[in-house]
Structure 1
Amino acid sequence: MELYRACYRSKINWGNMRLPLPDEIDKTLLRIRRINRKAGVTGALLLVDQHIIQVLEGLTGPVLDTVYCVMNDPRLEAIEGIIHEPADFRLFPNSLMFFRDLTDGLAASKHDVLRPLLDHPADVTREEAYRAFGHFAQELQEGRLTNDMLMI
């Protein structure tokens, strides 16, 4: 079974938001995580200013099905693929959908790899996306290791 990774960026279409943004995000994450559990898809979603950058990982079919759903979401516009390729491993193996709101700039001020996401979210490159998602994947892994050590 071949793993696949897809990453896209999109602009938020505020005119199609039905709820205030925090409520819209909570509702959407609940739905995404429920669907991803059934489909075997993992990944991460970053909110950056007026944009969303998301990475999806899993078997090719379910990942591409999820991308298709994203492309038809009226709350998003100017959707552009950043990464579409086979993957040797999952960056977020235990995360049905990791989420971070980076709009306040605090995380980017502490971690240079996140700076491009705020500086030019509409033009994030493949390498910049990998560095940003890699940062959070490592953060999650370190947290799991700490939890494992505390459980000994």
Structure 2
Amino acid sequence: MTLNAICYRADIDWRRIPQPADQEIERTLHRARQLNRLNGVTGALLLFSDHVLQWIEGEADSIADTLDCASRDRRLTSLEVLASGQVASRLFPHCWLYFGDHRHDSGQQEHEFARLAALSGRRSLEGVGAALAPVSGVLKSAEFTHTAMLV
């Protein structure tokens, strides 16, 4: 099996988000995690005040399906693939879909991944992975718990 990853960013059309937004986010995450489990996709979704950044990893067909689903989501606009290609290992091996809510994070611009999400333009997959490594590192300390949860 060849392991691939895609990272994309998209703007959020908040007018298309049913209110209350937190309930819609929870429903969306639940559905995405179920689909990711079925398709063997892992990754992370980072939410900012006006855009999202998502890293997905797995077999090429599976992540292509996930990207296609996101591109058809009416809540997202201006979807742009920042990086894609083969990877040697998963960045989020123990998480069907890590979620980071940075909508109210006053220091969000200090994070490399926040700067990455705010700007358009193609990047290297290695550079994007390096920017997201601190997020993945937070999960590393709970590796055994996460492994048990991925049964």
**Which residue in the other structure is 2:129 paired with?**
130
**Which residue in the other structure is 2:118 paired with?**
121
Matched ranges for 1:2-151 at <5 A: 2-106=2-106, 108=108, 112-114=111-113, 116=115, 121-123=118-120, 126=123, 129-144=128-143
| Alpha-carbon distance between aligned partners in 2 of 1:86 and 1:32, rounded to the nearest angstrom | 22
Unpaired runs of 5+ residues, structure 2, are 147-151
**Structure 1 residues 124, 97: closer, same or farther in 2, change over 3 A?**
farther
Quick one: percent identity of the two aligned structures? Answer: 32
- Say if 1:10 and 1:122, in contact at 8 Å, map to a contact too: no
How far is the alpha carbon of 1:112 from its aligned partner?
A: 4.3
**Secondary structure at 1:15's aligned position in 2?**
helix
- Say if 2:91 and 2:129, in contact at 8 Å, map to a contact too: no
| Alpha-carbon distance between aligned partners in 2 of 1:146 and 1:29, rounded to the nearest angstrom | 20
**Structure 1 residues 76, 131: closer, same or farther in 2, change over 3 A?**
same
| Alpha-carbon distance between aligned partners in 1 of 2:91 and 2:115, rounded to the nearest angstrom | 20
Provide, for residues 24-48 of structure 1, a one-character-per-residue CA deviation record: whole Å limited to 9, x for no partner.
Answer: 1100000000001100000000011
Q: TM-score, normalised by structure 2?
A: 0.84
**Structure 1 residues 143, 20: closer, same or farther in 2, change over 3 A?**
same
| Alpha-carbon distance between aligned partners in 1 of 2:103 and 2:67, rounded to the nearest angstrom | 24
| Alpha-carbon distance between aligned partners in 1 of 2:144 and 2:106, rounded to the nearest angstrom | 25
Q: TM-score, normalised by structure 1?
A: 0.83
**Secondary structure at 1:100's aligned position in 2?**
strand
| Alpha-carbon distance between aligned partners in 1 of 2:88 and 2:114, rounded to the nearest angstrom | 27
How far is the alpha carbon of 1:16 from its aligned partner?
A: 1.5
**Structure 1 residues 76, 66: closer, same or farther in 2, change over 3 A?**
same
| Alpha-carbon distance between aligned partners in 1 of 2:31 and 2:21, rounded to the nearest angstrom | 15
Q: Which structure dedicates a bigger proportion of its chain to helix?
A: 1
| Aligned residue type for 1:30 | H
